[in-house]
A and B are shown apart, each in its own frame.
Chain A
Amino acid sequence: MKEPAAPPDDGALVASALGGTAEAFGTLVERYERAVYHLCLRTVRDPEEAKDAAQEAFFKAFRSLRTFKTGAKFSTWIFSIAYHACCDRLERRKRFSDAELPERADSTPGPALLAEQRDEARELRAAIDELPEKYRTVITLYHLQGRQYEEIARVLDVPLGTVKTHLFRAKELLRKRLAGSFGDAPAPGVSE
């Protein structure tokens, strides 16, 4: 009996897309759409903006597919593009005053949000969303998307040690915020 052919790896798909097979890029979108959207959502904390950022990331990747280095990891590349697109959006958001974005200024959870936070997963997501951006992204890439330290360091363009430190501090903050839900009491002296 003939074994089914293994799905092409990302590098082969990039090569096919560059060779004119448009569907190859479609397959890459299918593979990474969810992860990229998730990274954007955790970084910008706004579903609509995350959608736009994810779309922008794939668009930029498509336009500069020729610059993709042979042998590099497509996931690292697309995450890096998405992360920088999100950073640009956060930077732009900073320029607006609180008065222009009242929904962001109000940090008090409303009744709907409180109801959402009842179960553990939602509570955890809400706690991740409260983390500073640098910690949020590291937690998202490492725990939620299963990326290695080296890949996260390349995506964020920071040293490996910084990734580990951010991850540790992020978890400390999470544990502090979810006191009683997970693990032991927080270690003293951890601050944002």
Chain B
Amino acid sequence: MNDDFDELDRALFALPLEEPPAGLRRGILAATIYAAPEAPLFRFWEVVLVGAAVAFAVWLVLRVASDAHFSSALVAGSLTALRAFFAPATLAWLAAGLSTALWLSLVNIAPPRFLVRSGRS
């Protein structure tokens, strides 16, 4: 191969690199080390909640499968709980509690005027 490129080589090696655009480094750093970390798919409490629900479901299935009386007891217990919840007395107390909460949220509990005035003087 003819490799007589001395002058061309000299010129090529002497050729300075172009300066990168001003915002390049800032852009790279913003997209890499200064970028906000990616949000995890699930939050910690969500993982705990889902884990607890799954564990409870597994426990329930195992109990139902292993104990013949458990399912009937479970159904009976659930029905009792539902009946108790929908009992007139429970509903009445629930209504009283909700209306009290609503009333408290509407009441103006700002301090009386005379107290505010005396506080300023």
Contact = CB atoms under 8 A, between A and B. Distances in A.
- B is a partner of A: yes
Contacts, number: 89
A93 B40 CA distance: 36
B15 A124 contact: yes
B28 interface: yes
Interface stretch (B16-24, B61-69, B78-86, B95-103): B16-24
Contacts of A25: 32-33
A124 B18 contact: no
Contacts of B16: 121
A54 B11 contact: no
Contact of A182 (B11, B17, B24, B27): B11
B39 to A, nearest CB: 16
Interface in B1-44: 1-9, 11-21, 24-25, 27-29, 31-34
Contact of A55 (B8, B19, B27, B34): B27
Contacts of B11: 120-121, 124, 182
Given A33-B20, A168-B3, A55 B29 contact: no
A143 interface: yes
Given A33-B24, A168-B3, A182-B7, A62 B32 contact: yes
Nearest to B33: A22
Contact of B17 (A120, A139, A144, A171): A144
Given A29-B32, A182-B8, 16 more contacts: A33-B28, A34-B19, A34-B20, A35-B17, A37-B21, A41-B18, A51-B20, A54-B20, A58-B31, A139-B12, A143-B12, A143-B15, A144-B15, A146-B13, A168-B3, A175-B5
Interface of B: 1-9, 11-21, 24-25, 27-29, 31-34
